[in-house]
Structure 1
């Protein structure tokens, strides 16, 4: 069932926004007016098509009679020139039948496509307009209607109106196709001019240019300019307005019109009497080829209007260009060969010269076709058919002594030129952020991203813009990209390592600067403490000692009192010196070691939980230490960092956690013996969840813990446990 729905959907016409709205039940007055307008348009197209078809088919016998009696032998004005019959050729009636069949076959092709449009798109304004254009143009373009209707009467005037509607409707169709709007807006003015010329031509009996004696160059300029505006309108719509589906429709429409226009232009030149013998047989061939070229218009337009999911037209366009160019090349080559070999062989044997020219064309055919195919593929899609040549060119660039970033520039240039893309760029992760390190072309808003994989890891991303907005990459493009990205993987990894080393050097330089600044700041603080506090105290002690010395002999009691005060000052000074030294490095680390210093701090925090009888209260905090009996020797900076991390974490537990149990665990990593594992876990209320949008990382204590771990190249994590407590874990290299 799904497959049947898909097939039915593929056969439905593309809906305009107006029709999508009308598909619902009309409720507002505007909707009802739109429905009535659509009904009026449907009725007009149906009546016009029936009347025109009936009159056209009714004119066939009269056209045949005039061909036999007048037109073939003497001509019928501009519509049918005089055509002498070839000697020993077909009869006059046979030629008349052939001309009738050619014209009727051309018109039937337009009628058939128009009928399909009316059947499938009877509720689509664009489909109705296309059907009207096909009926009118298919009727008026052949000479049958004008010749058969004569120079007067209702049929003659009716077919003049049909010709007028043909030019107006087909011009309007190309101005508004495929979404029903004039794009750009000024194109409606040019359409008004086209409609005015077509209407005026009716009042002059279809010969306005001759009646007004307009020069042929001005006529040519008018037709060329009107055609150019139609083409520009579609190109502008394709580049700036159309959606991807509408672009595919436009491709089919423009393809058919291009085939018809090129065929009409080329065959019109061949209709010049200077290029042929003017016999009836020649005109049969010329008319057949001209009508066959113009038949591409209704076929492609019917597909563009009716089929929503169109086939990819690019391969068809490429083949058309290849074989058209090949045909022209073969004709030119054959002509040049005959013109060159004819005077060369003065034998008068034309067959021998033709045979030699044919041999030259046969030998050159295959390489010429391959050369044209390769260059047209490059023109339309790039060089995805030549992966080895592209890789060879890229390799020739990479073997030169280039820095890694220049190699990436070569890669993006190669991808851009090989696939004819407007923009390519390569981005890699640097310092936790994606950075574009090489690009070529103007950046676009939404490029396609292709990962660059090397050794099973994604080392970068290639960003590539589509050839046109909304156009997807073909499978051939994907294969060439895959090949090129495989070559780019090692280069990207090399660049990534180089940039990483540069960042490491930069971080090392910044760390050294921070270290020097921190050392000097610490020295200045110690100097200020010694100079502003300790030095005056020591100077005062010296003065007090000297004063007490003077009073020893005179007033011993006063001297004893002064010495007692001096002893208190000395004790407080010594205590301040101890505090200053303790700030530099806790003395318990030197006296008891890391485990002993932490145990002393834990014992101090456990004492308030004991009662007078030495028993522990039920709701009090119990802190335990789990550490190996001995730890390896470690740098003084690591000991201080571990001690500060543990003591700060315990302070947070005591102040904020409301916990009854806390465990401090120290261990050496079993996988890496040069790493110390630190873990402080409690069963308290847990750390509050921080919103990433707030940008907060916790209080000063938590920030200090992270900074101490980072200063030594370690890692720190502060998280909430499943039971609701908090776990502070850190890994420090020894």
Structure 2
């Protein structure tokens, strides 16, 4: 319960600081104190608001972290510094006696500033980011930092005589006779502050050096280390009562870098794994700021500045009340989009995905575009798209969180999967999964298209390779077989011509030998031609050529009956389709003869819009888990070469069916 109370109370502090600072700024209209021209006072504005926000973020997430409470306390002290100064100025100088407790405010103004700046730039750097010193050897610096704060607070609180900020009033609790001691103590304050800042920077450097190179912890430390070093230069530089405008602005920017660096570590590098808290804080901080600005502008424009009882205030409150809900809705949408992407707008996410896929130069480039689109739409740190055929693409880098797997389907078949890592190393949320389920539909189509493109590219590569292999085979066979035979015949003919007159009998014998060599060359040529396209296809047609070959196989395999028939007359076929059907059918029958142990095998041909080839046997079938062999792969490739498909299926309880469907393109 105490933890929840701290978390709720933490968010009151930024609102209180903003209200105090705004009141101090508006009060300047009546006090004319020149407070807004003092760079040291103006520095309280970005420092107070910045540290109030980062302190609230830390406390709401890690109430036991002392650093968050330190930030909140110092931010409040900075806001009070400007407010109590203006309160005392108005009650003691502008309209004396008009405000109660003006002297108390003047007394608080004389020392409250020390509780703002000094703790932030000593203890705040020393204890960052876990609220502890880097090691036990650094513990002695904590009491030194406390001593530094005491050296700044005590002189202001106990110095006798008129207040330094408001000389019109005297310190009611000043210790008479202690002025020399308090002045000496105060003289130690500024050197101790410089020492504390240097020690804090050294602690940050030690933590950075101990962190893993390139790791998240180094990224969390490096920005603050740089910002703190720049602040040390600003603090150590000699002061000027009227610094140039550029120098004043530069000093304010440098000081504001410290809370900004811590904010970047929390928001971008997820220092305290803040997600929902950060979302709500950004929304309501923006809403609070918008309301304050609108209220002030409206009241001022209506002519009754900050008059709590006038008609201007009533009108302004009414207008602000009417604008609160639209403002909150708009801010929530902006923050959600910054943190979660398009999770709340599925149409935008689908549009982003479609645009990325359309921009892909080729189907194969769709995988990287898909991964990047999903990662950008949901602000996910890592997305991986995997295709069932083996391709993959990544977006982002894994950060060690759990990976969620989401299947990608097309026409009821899984074509790939998504691997996603949630934000902040946490599982993917239910709301993210709802959108991812919607995105999975077009993603599945894109992955299927990419798989088909890869398969087509691989098939083309195999075709080119097969063509080159075939050419090399022909070249080798012609060069090593037919070529030497014909060369030998030519030499033999020369020898016959030389002997035909002197030794006709030897010439006739040599001619007989040359005739045998010529017959061998003819057989070699016939074998090569048969390898390119079986002559039986031209002589007998597809059906006749299959019957001729299956009859030969049946004669060599006793007990096996092979039947070849066609349910419909076959139309004229393309040469490539005819060869593919012939090779597929013979390969299937050969597998049945060699491996199935079948008694019957049938080859059926039919033609409608495509040529259907089916080979079925009653053998032992193919056991589950059997890897695809060369023959089965060759049948699928031959079918794919002509734009068809070839599948191997079980034929009832036993046996195997090979079914090929080849496009029919009449000659």
TM-score of the superposed pair, with normalisation by structure 1: 0.44
Q: Which has the larger radius of gyration?
A: 1
TM-score, scaled relative to structure 2? 0.48
